[in-house]
Amino acid sequence: MKPTRDYDATLVDLLERILDKGIVLHADIIIHVAGIPLLGLSLKACIAGMETMLRYGIWNDWDEAQRAYAIEETEKNKLILNLNEKVFLKTFVSILKNNCPYENWKSGFLCITSNELIVSQNNSKNVILRCFLSDVNIFNVTKKKDEGSLEMDVMDFSLVSGGSFLLRSRDMLKIKSVLENRINSIA
């Protein structure tokens, strides 16, 4: 068998091969001075993609611990809904509370359920706004200018309790449609 060389191989090909197949290095180094061993180094290294390492059982314990921790954190921070609540729409939005002392847009996830409108950060217990759909007095889509003088569509909400807030999202028409359906079904 003669060695061959592929001249079309690139650094990307090399990295892909290393991540896919992996490299295992076992090295023992002993440093002698005047025939006396002073320092010994035993090196065992593996360079590969995580999938390859897990496939060969190198980091199974680490992977199981990481996955368990991620599941635990997700469950701990999950948005808690009322009993028998059904989620009708979940989408990314920005919200501006008009009664906020410092007006700035906050990003979060809008969740329209059977009875509530909830905006939370990172889909978690950190709730920016929570109100009952029956508390929504008026909502309509208007055009507003942002800080850069760009015109954008925002949804302006007025609540029975007197509060108000603005929402903006790429799914504005979908939000409006689901809200109208939910509010009409409650009324």
Q: Which residue has the tokens 């929504």?
A: 136
pLDDT of residue 99: 61
- The 10s digit of each residue's pLDDT in 38-60 is 999 998 888 888 888 888 888 77
65 to each of 58, 62, 68, 138, how far by Cα in Å?
Answer: 14, 5, 5, 48
Residue 28 confidence (pLDDT): 92
pLDDT digits (tens, 9 = 90+) for 134-166: 888 888 888 777 666 677 788 888 888 888 888
- C-alpha distances out from residue 101 to 23, 28, 108, 158, Å: 57, 65, 19, 18
Asked if residue 183 has pLDDT above 80, the reply is: yes
Q: Does pTM surpass 0.85?
A: no
All domains of the chain, ordered by start, with CATH? 11-75 (no CATH), 87-186 (2.30.29.30)
